[in-house]
Amino acid sequence: MSDRPRAGRAVTLVAPVTAALAHIGPAATWLPGLRHRCFPALAGAGRPDHVALTFDDGPDPVSTPRFLDLLDALGVRATFFVLGESVVRYPAQVRETVRRGHELGVHGWSHDRPWLPSPGRDARELARAARAVHEVTGRPPRWYRPPYGILTSGRWAAARRARLRPVLWTAWGRDWTADATPASVRATVAADLRGGGTLLLHDTDRAAAPGCWHAALGALPAIIGGCHDAGLALGPLSEHGVGTTTDPG
Ligand SMILES: [Zn+2]
């Protein structure tokens, strides 16, 4: 389809396409494709033999360790977009994520009311979150992904001031819903994920239906296996080869 990412091989997973269609709304079908066509670097389009694996909304002292253990077992590293308020609350979890070889991006200070832009507050909170990650890990974060992908002009400017690069996604698993299952997540991912894509999943139910992270965790082995079967490597955004310029300029 024309709205799918162009580059790379398709990822074949076990769930049928018909099942995927039941889980994808209009926003999922056209928004990532539109972004990919118009702003490929913002969408997270990278080298065609690679998939960037990203998780939002953590850290979570209950669920994040389960993801770290599974990723260790599968030999895959990822980018975790964390919330500043959780970074200062669970610093040991943040340091453990970095110790295991993963990288951190900034998802904001909190997940509250992201649809209400407030340039002053957005700038303060983004800088505060980036500073928290830097102080806890000793490394400045490089990436920014706003909650729900709502990247206002104010948040864009705030990211530039905080020396963060906005990156959204080309495929997701709709793993935040109450009825998500490993099979539904696999099917939804398979519908849109191609080589060169950036995959969005969640390592916590912090901003979603209670317990929904089990669906993403359960889907991960098949998603990663499907990528490997297609000849695609998975890794963090720093290894993805995202374009060196920020699209909207
Ligand atoms: Zn989020």
Quick: pLDDT tens for 102-118.
Answer: 999 999 999 877 677 78
To the query of whether residue 57 is one of the catalytic residues in this protein, the response is no
Give the percent of the chain with pLDDT over 90. 69
Q: Determine the distance separating the centroid of ligand 1 and the alpha carbon of 147, expressed in angstroms.
A: 4
7 lies in a domain? no
Number of domains in the chain: 1
The answer to whether the predicted template modeling score (pTM) of the entire model surpasses 0.95 is no
Q: Determine the distance separating the centroid of ligand 1 and the alpha carbon of 76, expressed in angstroms.
A: 22
Any bridge partners for residue 39, and if so which?
none
Q: Cα separation of 139 and 121, whole Å?
A: 24
The catalytically annotated residue of 23, 50, 202, 240 is 202
93 lies in a domain? yes
3 lies in a domain? no
How much is the mean pLDDT over the chain?
Answer: 85
Joined together, the tokens standing for residue 215 give: 């669906």
Q: Determine the distance separating the centroid of ligand 1 and the alpha carbon of 107, expressed in angstroms.
A: 7
Q: Determine the distance separating the centroid of ligand 1 and the alpha carbon of 172, expressed in angstroms.
A: 12
Report CA dihedral (60, 119, 130, 64) to the nearest 10 degrees.
10
196 lies in a domain? yes
pLDDT classification of 5: cutoffs 50, 70, 90 = very low
Distances (CA, A) of 49 to 6, 9, 89: 12, 8, 37
Q: Determine the distance separating the centroid of ligand 1 and the alpha carbon of 104, expressed in angstroms.
A: 14
The catalytically annotated residue of 23, 36, 50, 56 is 56
To the query of whether residue 23 is one of the catalytic residues in this protein, the response is no
Lowest-confidence segment of 27-31, 78-82, 234-238 by average pLDDT: 27-31
Q: Determine the distance separating the centroid of ligand 1 and the alpha carbon of 125, expressed in angstroms.
A: 15
Lowest-confidence segment of 62-66, 180-184, 205-209 by average pLDDT: 205-209
Helix residue ranges, H only, the chain: 17-21, 26-38, 40-43, 64-74, 84-89, 91-99, 119-137, 153-161, 182-192, 213-229
2 lies in a domain? no
Q: How far is CA 160 from the centre of its chain?
A: 19
Nearest to 59 by CA among 29, 14, 37, 91: 91
Residue 85 reports pLDDT greater than 70: yes
HEC assignment per residue over 4-31 = CCCCCCECCCCCCHHHHHCCCCHHHHHH
- Per DSSP, the three-state class of 56 is strand
- The radius of gyration computed from the CA coordinates of the chain, to the nearest angstrom, equals 17
Q: Determine the distance separating the centroid of ligand 1 and the alpha carbon of 105, expressed in angstroms.
A: 12
Element (H, E) at 77: none
pLDDT classification of 3: cutoffs 50, 70, 90 = very low
Any bridge partners for residue 54, and if so which?
79, 200
**What domain range is 223 assigned to?**
12-239
Q: Determine the distance separating the centroid of ligand 1 and the alpha carbon of 37, expressed in angstroms.
A: 23
249 lies in a domain? no
1 lies in a domain? no
Instruction: Give the pLDDT confidence score for residue 112 in this predicted structure.
Output: 78
Q: Determine the distance separating the centroid of ligand 1 and the alpha carbon of 216, expressed in angstroms.
A: 14
245 lies in a domain? no
* pLDDT tens-digit map of 63-81: 999 999 999 999 999 999 9
Residue 236 reports pLDDT greater than 90: yes
CATH number at residue 184: 3.20.20.370
